[in-house]
A and B are shown apart, each in its own frame.
Chain A
Amino acid sequence: MSATGVRAAVTGLGVVAPNGLGTETYWTATRKGISGIGRITRFVPDQYPAQLAGEIDGFDAAEHLPGRLLPQTDRMTQLALVAADWAFQDAAVRPEDLPGFEMGVITASSSGGFAFGQRELQALWSKGSRYVSAYQSFAWFYAVNSGQISIRNGMRGPSGVVVSDQAGGLDAIAQARRQLRKGTRLVMAGAVDASICPWGWVAQMASNRLSVGRDPERAYLPFDDAAAGHVPGEGGALLVMEDLEQARARGARIYGEVAGYGATLDPRPGSGRPPGLRKAVELALADAGASPGDIDVVFADAAALPDLDRIETETITAVFGARAVPVTAPKTMTGRLYSGAAPLDLAAAFLAMRDEVIPPSVGVTPSPGHDLDLVVDRERPAPVRSALVLARGHGGFNSAAVVRAV
């Protein structure tokens, strides 16, 4: 993969998470183990088996974005536009100062602007086709966040959108690194997802992977004997990625680099072949030129389903040894943010490097069946030079990324 000498530095973070709006708010809450999971407020969830979600509170798009953008955007796009603004600010980059063709936007999406889509489907079927919004054609589709971010910030370089369920967030980061290697100066990359509307909720429940727990502190318990599904959330993170040398030349504060990446898809169900997560990890390590001993922490995918947890534990112990590396899942405080989950974990990994501390997983009582050194309930001070982030998607998508200090 390192066919060219370009290294992909991360110089800015924009975080919108259920337990914190803005990078430092999120990080402070995450270090303290404060969860953003609660009973759904966006609609009345009484009739549904699953009733908990990681909702972002206190986000008023009108405070951050021009009024003309509001009617044409879904909530997830509003969140993404604000996350991008914050990432630029954090990187101390004014996009208007850079040539447009030298900046790209690469995001992942899972379901597009689904709440917007529900409203327009309802207009169509309850009132008629003339009542469908002129914005529907582009407000719900998967490419909307990349498009709107590029327009708001004058980014004319290579852009893109990937959809690989929850693994997509890492695939977007890898595609961004690819574009840096081809010569693009800066790429805004990551994902912000949200589909907490009744129609999105019903579609998510169909996966049979949602927790039906009612206690926010006991509903999403990966690697726990009580694991019984996950709590979905909304949000994610966008990262400013730049060619390391150019970032250094402008005196940028550098969080670290995206050093390695690997992706696989599990074999067809029933094939009898082994799952692909381990291969993805091995590819990411090899791509980074790292050995397992170099990794200081693993940010787990943490599906909280017995079979998927077992596969993840087996992968980690096979690659690193039993209890040989600290493992954590701060997403137990946000819920799973679909394609936003992995970019948020990357942001947490960079902040863990900065502050020399591993954020905890909350609420989990690690099962003896999982031979992991799980960081639980309290943060753990530790020098972090390299981290491995894992992300898996429905359908068998496995992606792994290695980030490290520079």
Chain B
Amino acid sequence: MSGAYPRRVVITGIGVTAPGGVGVKSFWNTLSGGHTATRRITFFDPSPFRSQVAAEVDFDAELLGLSAQEIRRMDRAAQFAVVTARDAVADSGLEFTALDPHRTGVTIGSAVGATMGLDQEYRTVSDSGRLDLVDHTYAVPHLYNHLVPSSFAAEVAWAVGAEGPATVVSTGCTSGLDAVGYAADLIREGSADVMVAGATDAPISPITVACFDAIKATTPRNDDPEHASRPFDGTRNGFVLGEGAAVFVLEELGSARRRGAHVYAEIAGYATRSNAFHMTGLRPDGREMAEAIRVALDEARLDPEAVDYVNAHGSGTKQNDRHETAAFKRSLGEHAYAVPVSSIKSMVGHSLGAIGAIEIAASTLAMEHGVVPPTANLHTPDPECDLDYVPVTAREWPTDAVLSVGSGFGGFQSAMVLARPDRRNA
């Protein structure tokens, strides 16, 4: 890591809760099969809304081991985080009870926190919006945990027995990348040895759907929910809201090797930049995302040509996909035309802060399987999006290094390079 931090950070455990099926295996089946998990919203009657489709997770918290008390006090996003963190810990094979709890930390990304819980509790205390002075006698005891979503990090830490640095990272739609990047830095600088890091969001609530309706960010393609998420396609007209979580166990490379852990990938480089332009708008040139990519590659000591696969943000809005395509060309040069680029949001939707972590999982699994997931629903070319987006069908493709990027409200642009630890550096 360019000399400043000699410690290298690797992923040794993965947990995923995503639309299409809970668990890493069903997640990979969805992606590698090119299956879409988008559908007409079932959580509430979506008919008053402009956009009526979403990628929902079929999630049974009780079946997945949460107690009645945990289910009561936790927002759905917190439940995702806890279940997914437990899966990651189990997958890592690391004996957490044998760790120094103060050297084990938690970083959870979330863009919108407990929005489902807040929406629901607001209706109760306000008598469906009738009261300005909402009624505290109807408030549930855990309402404070919805107000301040750092409760998510505390819940995960309690579930895994961590007592080191814990926080929620909340940078909108780059939260997942930024949370994992933040956690990796804590290991690199020596503040922690093991981090449980990832991101969660469960935003499919009336308020979230309404606020994206208001700016026409989500698709109105309500007549064809299965094919509504169309990144890079000429007919794309907005993203499809999703939900879910991905959580990882991160360790220092040397100690992971000493215990004989399965090392999925190294977090070889990470950077975030801001466009300082607009809270929701993007300048078409992609300059700030390109800078984040350049710095992340530099940190990984990799040339652009070493990138075997680009896991795109690919939200399916007109402006995002054009912006991102420009950023790839600006940062990767000619290699942008040669490297496969795809967006899994075409299949699992856009789960706001969670998706960055879910995309790290997808990137890592692409390396693991030597298969690049496709961009589903990509049939109509867009002259402004002229890269190889791996349309419709997954591709067998040996992959040693992946670039995963995110872009979001607030102007945040983040990039992460995941690579095999034994790759050859430039």
Contact = CB atoms under 8 A, between A and B. Distances in A.
B213 A143 contact: no
Interface in A66-89: 72
A181 B4 contact: yes
Contacts of B408: 143
A143 B171 contact: yes
A208 B123 CA distance: 21
Contacts of A120: 207, 210-211
Given A198-B133, A264-B163, A132 B213 contact: yes
Interface in A149-172: 150-151, 153-165, 168, 171
Contacts of B49: 129
B68 to A, nearest CB: 17
A265 B102 CA distance: 8
B169 A137 contact: no
B146 interface: yes
A164 B122 CA distance: 23
A168 B132 CA distance: 30
Interface string A334-348: 000010000000000
Contact of A206 (B143, B162, B172): B143
Given A43-B132, A146-B410, A175-B182, A156 B273 contact: yes
Interface string A197-222: 01111111111100000000000000
B215 A134 contact: yes
Nearest to B159: A268
Given A3-B189, A121-B129, A162-B168, A141 B409 contact: yes
Nearest to B149: A163
B166 interface: yes
B185 to A, nearest CB: 6
Interface string B395-408: 00000000000001
Interface stretch (B134-142, B251-259, B418-426): B134-142
Contacts of B164: 263-265
B141 A206 contact: yes
A129 to B, nearest CB: 4
Interface in B65-106: 101-102, 105-106
A47 to B, nearest CB: 6
A4 B130 CA distance: 57
A17 interface: no
A71 B221 CA distance: 30
A111 B274 CA distance: 22
Given A125-B123, A143-B171, A198-B132, A164 B153 contact: yes
Given A265-B163, A397-B166, A206 B142 contact: yes
Contacts of A279: 102, 163
A147 B154 contact: no
A148 B412 CA distance: 11
B136 A205 contact: yes
A155 to B, nearest CB: 6
A157 B178 contact: no
Interface residues of B, number: 89
Contacts of A367: none
Contacts of A111: 147-148
A72 B154 contact: no
A142 B102 CA distance: 27
A171 B163 contact: no
Contact of A265 (B129, B157, B409): B157
A393 B140 CA distance: 20
Contacts of B271: 158
Nearest to B188: A3
Given A120-B207, A122-B132, A397-B166, A199 B122 contact: yes
Contacts of A273: 101, 163
B277 interface: yes
B280 A137 contact: yes
Contact of A138 (B150, B273, B410): B410
A138 B154 CA distance: 25
B59 interface: no
25 contacts: A47-B136, A104-B274, A112-B113, A121-B207, A125-B122, A127-B129, A132-B211, A133-B211, A137-B212, A141-B410, A142-B111, A143-B172, A146-B171, A146-B410, A156-B274, A159-B412, A160-B169, A160-B182, A161-B171, A163-B167, A199-B125, A206-B147, A263-B165, A279-B102, A279-B163
Given A120-B211, A202-B125, 10 more contacts: A3-B4, A100-B276, A126-B129, A132-B213, A138-B409, A175-B182, A203-B147, A264-B163, A268-B158, A396-B154
Interface of A: 1, 3-4, 43-44, 47-49, 72, 100-101, 104-105, 109-112, 114, 117-118, 120-130, 132-134, 136-138, 141-144, 146-148, 150-151, 153-165, 168, 171, 175, 178, 181-182, 195, 198-208, 263-269, 273, 276, 279, 338, 393-397
